[in-house]
Amino acid sequence: MTEQITDLNYDPDPRGSLNWKVFITPGVPTVSDDLPPGETVRMWSPISSTLIYGERDAVLVDTPTTVQQGVALADWVVASGKNLTAIYVTHGHGDHFFGIGAVQDRFPNARAIATADVVERMRWQVSPEVLEGLWNKRFPGQIPERLVMAEPLEDDTFHLEGHELVAVEVGHSDTDNTTCLHVPSVGLVVAGDVAYNDVHQYLTESVSHESRLAWIAALDKVEALRPRAVIAGHKRPDNDDDPRIIEETRQYIRDFDRLVEETVSTRELYDRMLALYPDRINRGALWGSARAVKG
Ligand SMILES: [Zn+2]
Protein backbone atom coordinates (compact mmCIF):
# COMPACT_ATOMS: atom_id res chain seq x y z
CA MET A 1 0.00 0.00 0.00
CA THR A 2 1.17 3.49 -0.69
CA GLU A 3 0.30 6.46 1.43
CA GLN A 4 1.02 10.02 0.57
CA ILE A 5 0.57 12.75 3.11
CA THR A 6 0.25 16.36 2.17
CA ASP A 7 0.90 18.88 4.87
CA LEU A 8 -0.23 22.17 3.53
CA ASN A 9 1.08 24.54 6.17
CA TYR A 10 -1.71 26.74 4.99
CA ASP A 11 -4.24 28.11 7.40
CA PRO A 12 -6.63 30.54 5.80
CA ASP A 13 -8.89 31.04 8.80
CA PRO A 14 -9.25 30.26 12.51
CA ARG A 15 -11.23 27.06 11.91
CA GLY A 16 -7.99 25.24 11.25
CA SER A 17 -6.97 23.98 7.88
CA LEU A 18 -7.96 20.77 6.17
CA ASN A 19 -5.38 18.25 5.03
CA TRP A 20 -5.60 15.17 2.86
CA LYS A 21 -3.90 11.89 2.19
CA VAL A 22 -4.31 9.35 -0.56
CA PHE A 23 -4.63 5.58 -0.29
CA ILE A 24 -3.72 3.75 -3.46
CA THR A 25 -5.13 0.30 -4.07
CA PRO A 26 -2.47 -1.40 -6.19
CA GLY A 27 -3.14 -2.53 -9.75
CA VAL A 28 -4.20 -6.20 -9.81
CA PRO A 29 -4.52 -8.96 -12.41
CA THR A 30 -8.06 -9.74 -13.57
CA VAL A 31 -9.66 -12.58 -15.49
CA SER A 32 -9.92 -11.83 -19.22
CA ASP A 33 -9.26 -13.71 -22.42
CA ASP A 34 -8.81 -10.50 -24.40
CA LEU A 35 -5.15 -9.74 -23.78
CA PRO A 36 -3.18 -6.93 -25.37
CA PRO A 37 -0.50 -8.16 -27.81
CA GLY A 38 2.51 -9.48 -25.98
CA GLU A 39 0.88 -9.27 -22.52
CA THR A 40 0.18 -12.30 -20.37
CA VAL A 41 -2.42 -10.77 -18.08
CA ARG A 42 -5.12 -8.11 -18.18
CA MET A 43 -4.52 -5.75 -15.27
CA TRP A 44 -6.82 -3.34 -13.44
CA SER A 45 -5.33 0.10 -12.84
CA PRO A 46 -4.33 1.31 -9.37
CA ILE A 47 -7.25 3.16 -7.72
CA SER A 48 -7.04 6.28 -5.51
CA SER A 49 -9.12 6.94 -2.41
CA THR A 50 -8.64 10.33 -0.77
CA LEU A 51 -9.18 11.13 2.90
CA ILE A 52 -9.82 14.83 3.48
CA TYR A 53 -9.57 15.59 7.19
CA GLY A 54 -9.65 18.27 9.81
CA GLU A 55 -8.86 18.10 13.52
CA ARG A 56 -11.41 15.35 14.25
CA ASP A 57 -13.57 14.58 11.27
CA ALA A 58 -12.90 13.30 7.78
CA VAL A 59 -14.57 12.69 4.43
CA LEU A 60 -13.47 9.81 2.20
CA VAL A 61 -13.65 10.11 -1.58
CA ASP A 62 -14.15 6.86 -3.54
CA THR A 63 -13.66 3.26 -2.45
CA PRO A 64 -12.16 0.40 -4.50
CA THR A 65 -13.56 -2.74 -6.05
CA THR A 66 -13.08 -6.02 -4.19
CA VAL A 67 -13.91 -7.25 -0.68
CA GLN A 68 -10.23 -7.43 0.23
CA GLN A 69 -9.47 -3.96 -1.16
CA GLY A 70 -12.41 -2.45 0.72
CA VAL A 71 -11.22 -3.93 4.01
CA ALA A 72 -7.66 -2.67 3.44
CA LEU A 73 -8.98 0.83 2.80
CA ALA A 74 -11.26 0.69 5.86
CA ASP A 75 -8.28 -0.36 8.05
CA TRP A 76 -6.31 2.61 6.73
CA VAL A 77 -9.13 5.04 7.53
CA VAL A 78 -9.44 3.57 11.05
CA ALA A 79 -5.67 4.00 11.52
CA SER A 80 -6.00 7.71 10.72
CA GLY A 81 -7.84 8.13 14.03
CA LYS A 82 -10.37 10.42 12.36
CA ASN A 83 -14.13 10.25 12.66
CA LEU A 84 -15.43 9.53 9.16
CA THR A 85 -18.61 11.51 8.51
CA ALA A 86 -19.18 10.88 4.79
CA ILE A 87 -18.08 8.83 1.79
CA TYR A 88 -18.34 10.80 -1.46
CA VAL A 89 -18.58 8.93 -4.77
CA THR A 90 -17.18 10.84 -7.78
CA HIS A 91 -18.80 8.76 -10.52
CA GLY A 92 -20.79 5.62 -11.08
CA HIS A 93 -18.11 3.04 -11.87
CA GLY A 94 -17.92 0.07 -9.51
CA ASP A 95 -14.18 0.43 -8.99
CA HIS A 96 -14.96 3.69 -7.17
CA PHE A 97 -17.85 2.61 -4.93
CA PHE A 98 -18.10 -1.15 -4.39
CA GLY A 99 -16.08 -0.74 -1.17
CA ILE A 100 -18.61 1.52 0.58
CA GLY A 101 -20.01 -1.37 2.64
CA ALA A 102 -16.57 -2.37 3.97
CA VAL A 103 -15.93 1.20 5.13
CA GLN A 104 -19.40 1.57 6.66
CA ASP A 105 -18.84 -1.68 8.59
CA ARG A 106 -16.23 0.32 10.54
CA PHE A 107 -17.96 3.71 10.38
CA PRO A 108 -21.72 3.02 10.48
CA ASN A 109 -22.51 6.73 10.74
CA ALA A 110 -20.61 7.72 7.60
CA ARG A 111 -23.20 8.60 4.95
CA ALA A 112 -22.46 7.59 1.36
CA ILE A 113 -23.32 10.56 -0.88
CA ALA A 114 -23.16 11.49 -4.56
CA THR A 115 -24.96 13.71 -7.02
CA ALA A 116 -28.37 12.45 -8.14
CA ASP A 117 -27.02 11.63 -11.61
CA VAL A 118 -24.13 9.63 -10.16
CA VAL A 119 -26.59 7.66 -7.99
CA GLU A 120 -28.48 6.76 -11.18
CA ARG A 121 -25.25 5.53 -12.81
CA MET A 122 -24.45 3.52 -9.68
CA ARG A 123 -27.83 1.77 -9.90
CA TRP A 124 -27.11 0.79 -13.49
CA GLN A 125 -23.66 -0.45 -12.51
CA VAL A 126 -25.13 -2.95 -10.01
CA SER A 127 -27.77 -4.20 -12.46
CA PRO A 128 -27.44 -7.94 -13.25
CA GLU A 129 -26.36 -7.00 -16.78
CA VAL A 130 -23.28 -5.04 -15.69
CA LEU A 131 -22.54 -7.01 -12.54
CA GLU A 132 -22.53 -10.37 -14.37
CA GLY A 133 -21.31 -9.04 -17.72
CA LEU A 134 -18.30 -7.18 -16.34
CA TRP A 135 -17.51 -7.22 -12.64
CA ASN A 136 -18.08 -10.85 -11.69
CA LYS A 137 -16.25 -11.94 -14.85
CA ARG A 138 -13.17 -9.82 -14.27
CA PHE A 139 -13.16 -10.35 -10.46
CA PRO A 140 -14.82 -13.76 -9.88
CA GLY A 141 -15.73 -14.33 -6.23
CA GLN A 142 -14.21 -11.00 -5.20
CA ILE A 143 -17.03 -8.45 -5.57
CA PRO A 144 -18.88 -7.70 -2.29
CA GLU A 145 -22.28 -9.38 -2.07
CA ARG A 146 -23.77 -6.33 -0.39
CA LEU A 147 -23.32 -3.31 -2.65
CA VAL A 148 -24.32 -0.03 -1.02
CA MET A 149 -25.83 2.84 -2.99
CA ALA A 150 -25.10 6.49 -2.19
CA GLU A 151 -27.84 8.92 -1.20
CA PRO A 152 -28.40 11.76 -3.66
CA LEU A 153 -27.10 15.14 -2.49
CA GLU A 154 -29.76 17.83 -2.32
CA ASP A 155 -27.19 20.59 -2.53
CA ASP A 156 -23.85 20.53 -4.33
CA THR A 157 -22.10 21.87 -1.21
CA PHE A 158 -21.55 20.09 2.11
CA HIS A 159 -19.18 20.78 4.98
CA LEU A 160 -16.23 19.35 6.88
CA GLU A 161 -15.40 21.22 10.11
CA GLY A 162 -16.81 24.41 8.64
CA HIS A 163 -15.03 24.13 5.28
CA GLU A 164 -17.02 23.84 2.08
CA LEU A 165 -16.72 20.72 -0.06
CA VAL A 166 -18.31 21.22 -3.47
CA ALA A 167 -19.51 18.51 -5.85
CA VAL A 168 -18.68 19.89 -9.29
CA GLU A 169 -20.59 18.26 -12.14
CA VAL A 170 -18.45 18.14 -15.28
CA GLY A 171 -20.49 15.84 -17.54
CA HIS A 172 -18.89 13.11 -19.62
CA SER A 173 -15.31 12.09 -18.88
CA ASP A 174 -14.46 8.37 -18.68
CA THR A 175 -18.18 7.73 -18.26
CA ASP A 176 -21.29 9.94 -18.26
CA ASN A 177 -22.35 12.30 -15.44
CA THR A 178 -18.99 12.49 -13.70
CA THR A 179 -18.00 14.87 -10.92
CA CYS A 180 -15.00 16.17 -9.01
CA LEU A 181 -14.93 17.16 -5.35
CA HIS A 182 -13.53 20.66 -4.92
CA VAL A 183 -12.19 21.92 -1.59
CA PRO A 184 -11.79 25.66 -2.22
CA SER A 185 -10.17 26.50 1.13
CA VAL A 186 -7.10 24.39 0.31
CA GLY A 187 -7.19 24.43 -3.49
CA LEU A 188 -7.75 20.70 -3.77
CA VAL A 189 -9.63 18.90 -6.54
CA VAL A 190 -10.30 15.20 -6.08
CA ALA A 191 -10.87 14.50 -9.73
CA GLY A 192 -12.20 10.95 -9.88
CA ASP A 193 -11.64 9.70 -13.42
CA VAL A 194 -11.83 13.14 -15.04
CA ALA A 195 -8.03 13.31 -14.70
CA TYR A 196 -5.55 10.43 -14.97
CA ASN A 197 -1.98 10.48 -13.69
CA ASP A 198 0.41 8.42 -15.86
CA VAL A 199 -2.11 5.58 -16.30
CA HIS A 200 -3.68 4.63 -19.65
CA GLN A 201 -7.08 6.26 -19.89
CA TYR A 202 -10.32 4.33 -20.20
CA LEU A 203 -11.82 5.62 -23.45
CA THR A 204 -14.09 2.62 -23.91
CA GLU A 205 -17.14 4.82 -23.20
CA SER A 206 -15.81 7.63 -25.42
CA VAL A 207 -16.20 5.97 -28.80
CA SER A 208 -17.44 9.10 -30.62
CA HIS A 209 -15.41 12.21 -31.43
CA GLU A 210 -18.06 14.28 -29.61
CA SER A 211 -17.68 12.29 -26.42
CA ARG A 212 -13.91 12.82 -26.49
CA LEU A 213 -14.45 16.56 -26.92
CA ALA A 214 -16.81 16.43 -23.94
CA TRP A 215 -14.07 14.86 -21.79
CA ILE A 216 -11.67 17.63 -22.83
CA ALA A 217 -14.33 20.20 -21.88
CA ALA A 218 -14.66 18.50 -18.48
CA LEU A 219 -10.93 19.00 -17.94
CA ASP A 220 -11.29 22.66 -18.91
CA LYS A 221 -13.81 22.98 -16.07
CA VAL A 222 -11.35 21.46 -13.62
CA GLU A 223 -8.63 23.84 -14.79
CA ALA A 224 -10.96 26.81 -14.29
CA LEU A 225 -11.05 25.96 -10.56
CA ARG A 226 -7.32 26.81 -10.49
CA PRO A 227 -6.44 23.92 -8.16
CA ARG A 228 -3.12 23.57 -6.36
CA ALA A 229 -3.41 19.78 -6.35
CA VAL A 230 -5.41 17.36 -8.48
CA ILE A 231 -5.88 13.77 -7.31
CA ALA A 232 -6.51 11.41 -10.21
CA GLY A 233 -8.77 8.40 -9.70
CA HIS A 234 -6.08 6.27 -11.33
CA LYS A 235 -2.50 7.36 -10.69
CA ARG A 236 1.03 6.04 -10.64
CA PRO A 237 1.50 5.44 -6.91
CA ASP A 238 4.69 7.46 -6.48
CA ASN A 239 3.68 10.44 -8.61
CA ASP A 240 2.80 13.81 -7.12
CA ASP A 241 -0.58 15.45 -7.72
CA ASP A 242 0.51 18.48 -9.69
CA PRO A 243 -2.23 20.16 -11.74
CA ARG A 244 -0.14 19.52 -14.88
CA ILE A 245 -2.01 16.20 -15.11
CA ILE A 246 -5.01 18.18 -16.39
CA GLU A 247 -3.15 19.01 -19.59
CA GLU A 248 -1.52 15.56 -19.77
CA THR A 249 -4.98 13.97 -19.66
CA ARG A 250 -6.25 16.32 -22.39
CA GLN A 251 -3.23 15.62 -24.59
CA TYR A 252 -3.76 11.86 -24.33
CA ILE A 253 -7.37 12.33 -25.50
CA ARG A 254 -6.29 14.60 -28.39
CA ASP A 255 -3.69 12.03 -29.48
CA PHE A 256 -6.19 9.19 -29.29
CA ASP A 257 -8.77 11.23 -31.19
CA ARG A 258 -6.32 12.02 -33.99
CA LEU A 259 -5.03 8.46 -34.22
CA VAL A 260 -8.56 7.05 -34.43
CA GLU A 261 -8.76 8.88 -37.79
CA GLU A 262 -5.29 7.88 -38.94
CA THR A 263 -5.54 4.15 -38.21
CA VAL A 264 -7.72 1.28 -39.43
CA SER A 265 -7.34 -1.53 -36.91
CA THR A 266 -7.39 -2.07 -33.14
CA ARG A 267 -3.78 -3.19 -33.30
CA GLU A 268 -2.63 -0.17 -35.31
CA LEU A 269 -4.36 2.31 -32.99
CA TYR A 270 -2.95 0.50 -29.96
CA ASP A 271 0.59 0.45 -31.37
CA ARG A 272 0.54 4.10 -32.39
CA MET A 273 -0.70 5.22 -28.94
CA LEU A 274 1.84 2.99 -27.25
CA ALA A 275 4.62 4.60 -29.28
CA LEU A 276 3.55 7.96 -27.80
CA TYR A 277 2.92 6.61 -24.29
CA PRO A 278 5.27 3.65 -23.78
CA ASP A 279 5.55 4.00 -20.01
CA ARG A 280 2.00 4.63 -18.77
CA ILE A 281 0.57 2.05 -16.39
CA ASN A 282 -1.90 -0.60 -17.64
CA ARG A 283 -1.72 -1.21 -21.38
CA GLY A 284 -4.86 -3.30 -21.01
CA ALA A 285 -6.86 -0.09 -20.57
CA LEU A 286 -5.49 1.21 -23.88
CA TRP A 287 -6.24 -2.13 -25.56
CA GLY A 288 -9.84 -1.91 -24.33
CA SER A 289 -10.18 1.65 -25.63
CA ALA A 290 -8.79 0.71 -29.05
CA ARG A 291 -11.13 -2.33 -29.19
CA ALA A 292 -14.15 -0.22 -28.37
CA VAL A 293 -13.44 2.13 -31.27
CA LYS A 294 -12.14 -0.30 -33.90
CA GLY A 295 -14.05 -3.46 -32.95
ZN1 LIG B 1 -12.07 4.26 -12.61
Given a cut of 80, is residue 10 above it in pLDDT? no
Q: What is the pLDDT of residues 209-261, one digit of tens each?
A: 999 999 999 999 999 999 999 999 999 999 999 999 999 999 999 999 999 99
Q: What spacing in Å lies between the alpha carbon of 45 and ligand 1's midpoint?
A: 8
Q: What spacing in Å lies between the alpha carbon of 46 and ligand 1's midpoint?
A: 9
Q: What spacing in Å lies between the alpha carbon of 62 and ligand 1's midpoint?
A: 10
- Which run of H or of E encompasses 152? strand 151-152
Q: What spacing in Å lies between the alpha carbon of 206 and ligand 1's midpoint?
A: 14
Pick from 229, 285, 282, 276: which is nearest to 252 by CA?
276
DSSP state of 135: I
Mean pLDDT of 53-78: 98
Q: What spacing in Å lies between the alpha carbon of 273 and ligand 1's midpoint?
A: 20
Compute the C-alpha angle 165/168/172, nearest 5°.
Answer: 150
Residues composing the chain: 295
Domain ranges of the chain: 2-294
Q: What spacing in Å lies between the alpha carbon of 232 and ligand 1's midpoint?
A: 9
DSSP state of 199: B
Backbone angles phi, psi at 261, to 5 degrees: -75, -35
Q: What is the pLDDT of residues 87-99, one digit of tens each?
A: 999 999 999 999 9
Q: What spacing in Å lies between the alpha carbon of 194 and ligand 1's midpoint?
A: 9
- pLDDT band, residue 15 (cuts 50/70/90): low
Q: By mean pLDDT, which of 13-27, 85-99, 107-121, 247-261 is the weakest?
A: 13-27
CA distance 101 to 73: 11
Mean pLDDT of 14-39: 92
Compute the mean pLDDT over every residue in the chain, rounded to the nearest whole number. 95
The DSSP line for 6-57 is: E------STT---EEEEEEEPPEEE--S-PPTT-SSEEE--EEEEEEE-SSE
- pLDDT band, residue 4 (cuts 50/70/90): low
Q: What spacing in Å lies between the alpha carbon of 14 and ligand 1's midpoint?
A: 36
Instruction: Give buried/exposed letters for 263-290 (b at 16+ CB in 10 A, else e).
Output: beebeebbebbbeebeebbbbbbbbbbb
Q: What is the pTM of this model?
A: 0.94
Q: How many CB atoms lie within 10 A of CB 158?
A: 19
CA distance 240 to 234: 12
With beta carbons less than 8 A apart as the criterion, state whether 199 and 285 touch. yes
- Which run of H or of E encompasses 256? helix 244-262
With beta carbons less than 8 A apart as the criterion, state whether 88 and 17 touch. no
Backbone angles phi, psi at 150, to 5 degrees: -85, 160
Q: CATH code for 2-294?
A: 3.60.15.10
